[in-house]
């Protein structure tokens, strides 16, 4: 301790005064910074509320991300009373309204001060297939409620589909071809997006009069195929073989109508991707004379395809290329 120089009372007093001055300077700087920030914020709020920062018409709203819905259609659904101040625009309300009134999955809203306006970015629920209900599922399930995870008021018994199609499942030849008209419909009951979610047909028709329906048709009870759709559809969409219709009325025998002809796959399962690959290798069948009289192609065992001919008592086994 002998090596420490003594400090006089005068020096201690000067150091205290210096620390006080430094503390006051820091407080003043913080105060000025706070005032500047508040001033800028206040100026922006004032500027936004001025008549110049107003959305006067729909032309000041830019729509991005739309593919099926026209920009004019989306603008007509916005909950904005023109002219309206930018400060009063509610992005959350806009997003909620668009999702309720149109088949839109995601919405983001961005304000612009220079020039005043809005950018509304949307991601639509793309319809990829028409959904046709089978007779056994009509009036017993509400596909829209099922897609949202809600229970239908009168759910169909577990055996209703199999009972209605018992005669069909007993012989594949009885299910060689299906059409939506067989289900008693003249138009689809709804649409399906890529994830298998149900899109009411009215939700598109009400907002877009020129909507073109996707060419792919699915027939059956949505409760049957919806659990598999997110894995099933990507395989179908990537397949070189054009698939026009999917008959899922009988869960024990999935039937595809393709450019090659009618194809029986049996129950949907893990071998589906392999069945589609085998089907791709058989695309030259329509060029053969034998294939021109084909009733259906049986791929329930993709390792041993069977060709069922019209009017023939026996089926012919064929080899894959």
Q: Which residue has the higher pLDDT, 115 or 140?
A: 115
Please list, in sequence order, all residues whose beta carbon lies within 8 angstroms of the beta carbon of residue 233, skipping any fewer than 6 positions away.
128, 129, 194, 196
pLDDT digits (tens, 9 = 90+) for 70-97: 899 899 999 999 999 888 899 999 999 9
Whether residue 8 is predicted with pLDDT greater than 90 in this model: the reply is no
Mean pLDDT of 200-219: 80
Report all structural domains of the chain as residue ranges with CATH numbers, in order of start: 54-124 (3.10.20.310), 127-317 (3.40.50.11690)
What is the structure's pLDDT at 92?
Answer: 94
Which of 249, 273, 254 is closest to 264 using CA atoms? 254
User: Are 257 and 279 a contacting pair, CB within 8 Å?
Assistant: no
Q: Which residue has the higher pLDDT, 43 or 213?
A: 213
pLDDT digits (tens, 9 = 90+) for 47-70: 656 667 889 999 999 999 998 888
264 phi/psi in degrees, rounded to 5:
-100, 130
Which of 294, 18, 32 is closest to 177 using CA atoms? 294
Please list, in sequence order, all residues whose beta carbon lies within 8 angstroms of the beta carbon of residue 108, skipping any fewer than 6 positions away.
91, 95, 120, 121
What is the structure's pLDDT at 314?
Answer: 60
Whether pTM exceeds 0.75? no
């Amino acid at each position: 301790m002998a090596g420490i120089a003594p400090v006089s009372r005068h020096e201690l007093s000067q150091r205290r005064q210096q620390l006080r001055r430094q503390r006051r300077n820091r407080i003043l700087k913080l105060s000025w910074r706070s005032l500047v920030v508040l001033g800028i914020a206040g100026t922006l709020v004032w500027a936004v509320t001025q008549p110049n920062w107003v959305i006067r018409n729909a032309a000041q709203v830019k729509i991005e991300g739309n593919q099926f819905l026209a920009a004019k259609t989306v603008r007509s659904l916005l909950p904005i009373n023109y002219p309206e101040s930018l400060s009063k625009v509610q992005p959350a309300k806009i997003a909620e309204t668009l999702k309720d009134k149109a088949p839109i999955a995601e919405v983001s809203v961005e304000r612009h001060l220079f020039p005043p306006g809005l950018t509304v970015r949307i991601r639509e629920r793309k319809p990829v297939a028409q959904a046709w209900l089978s007779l056994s599922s009509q009036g017993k399930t509400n596909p829209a409620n099922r897609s949202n995870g809600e229970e239908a008021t009168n759910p169909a018994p577990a055996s209703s589909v199999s009972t209605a199609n018992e005669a069909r499942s007993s012989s594949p030849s009885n299910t060689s071809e299906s059409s939506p008209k067989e289900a008693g419909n003249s138009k689809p009951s709804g649409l399906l997006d890529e994830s298998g979610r149900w899109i009411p047909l009215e939700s598109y028709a009400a907002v877009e009069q020129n909507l073109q329906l996707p060419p792919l048709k699915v027939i059956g009870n949505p409760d049957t195929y919806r659990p598999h759709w997110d894995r099933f559809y990507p395989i179908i969409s990537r397949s070189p073989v054009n698939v026009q219709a999917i008959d899922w009325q009988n869960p024990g025998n999935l039937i595809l109508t393709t450019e090659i002809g009618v194809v029986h796959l049996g129950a949907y399962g893990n071998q589906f991707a392999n069945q589609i690959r085998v089907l791709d290798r058989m695309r030259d069948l329509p060029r053969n004379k034998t294939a021109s009289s084909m009733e259906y192609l049986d791929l329930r065992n993709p390792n041993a395809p069977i060709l069922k001919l019209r009017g023939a008592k026996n089926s012919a086994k064929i080899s894959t290329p």
